[in-house]
Amino acid sequence: MKKPIVLVIMDGVGRGDGGPGDAVALARTPNLDRLFATCPFTWLKAHGDAVGLPTDDDMGNSEVGHNALGCGQIYAQGAKLVQESIEKGTLFTSKTWQALIANCKTGEHTMHFLGLLSDGNVHSNIHHLIALLRKAREENLHSVCVHILLDGRDVPSTSALEYVDQLETVLSELSDESHDYRIASGGGRMQITMDRYQANWGMVEAGWKTHVLGEGRQFATAREAIETYRSELKNVIDQDLPAFVIARDGVPVGRIENGDSVILFNFRGDRAQEISLAFEKKEFDKFDRSGYTGVKFAGMLEYDGDLKIPSHYLVEPPVIKNTLTEVLCAAGVREYAVSETQKYGHVTYFWNGNRSGKVNDNLETYEEVPSDIIPFEFAPKMKADEITQKMVNAMASHAYDFLRCNFPNGDMVGHTGVMEAVITAIEAVDEGLGKILRAADQYGYLVCVTADHGNADQMLETKKGVTSVRTAHSLNPVPFIIYDPGEAHAFKEGRFGLANVAPTLLKLMELPAPACWEPDMLK
């Protein structure tokens, strides 16, 4: 290697249209502007088939994005895997599905489906849920409950009722005098159940009380709950709606009782692991489960292959081999990775092909900066300063040959929909980038700058002539920039995606890439 290499991942920063919804363009970003003005760069596809998702209507996300960045290949991912399994019928012939169905056929136990209710195709897809429900009815299950988490993050921010109405229509079709298919509980995804990286177990506990214990404010229907909260909480978006319990005559219609069957129909792993542990782990100390002795539980996928979370799942995960870290460790390259809690798993677990442990403890060093438990719009700088300082310190140590970091701000603050906060977030990332570039000059590093998907670049959307706040990821391309003053680098003609980054890094390191990888981008 001529120089050690730093990779900066600006999470959620794509190429917007420069208009009033483009927080990246509206932010003051002198360092990023300088890179675009003086350095070779190209644009990468970060959604759809470029990251293994079914169609180009499917937004990329941080998990599949980091998988592609870290392995140089394109693997069929969550939504596509599940859809193929449903279409082929292999999901319904799996031992796990059959066991959970058999548990409910006697009529003593209820089948429960829990997950994010939308067609965002990032964590879940309502069409997968509907397929499971129809199959459950075909299997002649008499009692089925659905516990819904409201999105407003990967889909329009106040679209929940569209999905609730769609689900209620299906449940009505499946129900009769001897079959009761119903919504039992729900709430916004950022209020209950879907915490990640153990940043806020209180969210999971709140979900447990809602779904399992049936504790909380009661309503006759999910529609009534959503409409009531919207009238009481002005400008609230779906992800922030409080929890609710559906009840008849003051009695919850669908507590999750000991011995029932429970399927978490989310396919994305990061926000599924903690609730899975709450259902599965015998020795559990994160909160009081109030008399819980166990259910038959399964996830849609295996959410962590190394930690075996959960023990049972409906669809087999992709086996990602020949990752960049494996190649670098084989070559004796020393690696360093850092981010804060919200994206630490992305520069480690997902980067390494859904692998929790290290390939070589002697060659890899990871550092996690604990994230604050505070709404991101109130602290949009997040831990950018701390991440930057750790990266600069690692560069100064000269202990590593390849260093990577993730700044979560553009994604996490972008999801809030608060434009002023998102602009501040982007400026914080740019400030950190500037310090890393100065350290590169001082200590002799080549720096590559990219992103895993867009978000902050598209904060508004117009549908049917109405413009509203957008909190979902964008379909926009993301940059790949090479900062290496005094050296000539040029990109090939062509269209590239995130999977082309790893082979390009290897070419910069003058190391050969595995034959199964995508091509590099350099002439």
Residue 269 has pLDDT above 90, yes or no: no
Indicate the pTM of the whole model: 0.76
For residue range 400-433, what is the model confidence (pLDDT) as tens digits? 999 999 999 999 999 999 999 999 999 999 999 9
Q: Which of 62, 94, 118, 339 is catalytic?
A: 62
Rounded to whole angstroms, the Cα distance separating 132 from 267 reads 13
- Split at pLDDT 50, 70, 90, the class of 305 is low
CATH fourth-level superfamily of 79-299: BPG-independent phosphoglycerate mutase, domain B (3.40.1450.10)
Q: How far apart are the C-alpha atoms of 415 and 380, rounded to whole Å?
A: 11
Work out the pLDDT band at 58, boundaries 50, 70, 90: confident
CATH of 5-77+319-509, picked from 3.90.120.10, 3.40.720.10, 1.10.1060.10, 2.40.50.100, is 3.40.720.10
Write down the mean pLDDT value for the chain.
Answer: 96
Residue spans of the domains in the chain: they are 5-77+319-509, 79-299
Q: Where are the beta strands (DSSP E) in 208-307?
A: 218-219, 244-248, 251-252, 261-264, 296-299
* Per-residue confidence (pLDDT) for residue 306, from 0 to 100: 56
Burial (CB count <10 Å: 0-12, 13-18, 19+), residue 366: middle
Task: Using alpha carbons, list the distances in angstroms from residue 53 to 56, 81, 121.
Answer: 8, 9, 9
Nearest alpha carbon to residue 63 among 210, 239, 255, 272: 272
Whole-number pLDDT of residue 143? 98
pLDDT value at residue 196: 86
pLDDT tens profile 341-366:
999 999 999 999 988 899 999 999 99
At 180-223, the pLDDT tens digits run 999 999 999 999 999 987 889 999 999 999 999 999 999 999 99
Return phi, psi of residue 234, to 5°: -65, 135
Tell me if residue 62 is catalytic: yes
The pLDDT value recorded for residue 267 is: 94
What does the alpha-carbon distance between residue 158 and residue 238 come to, in Å, rounded to a whole number?
A: 5
Long-range contacts: 126-130, Cβ < 8 Å, 24+? 126/163, 126/166, 126/167, 128/82, 128/83, 128/86, 128/265, 128/267, 128/300, 129/167, 129/265, 130/167, 130/170
For position 7, what pLDDT does the model report? 99
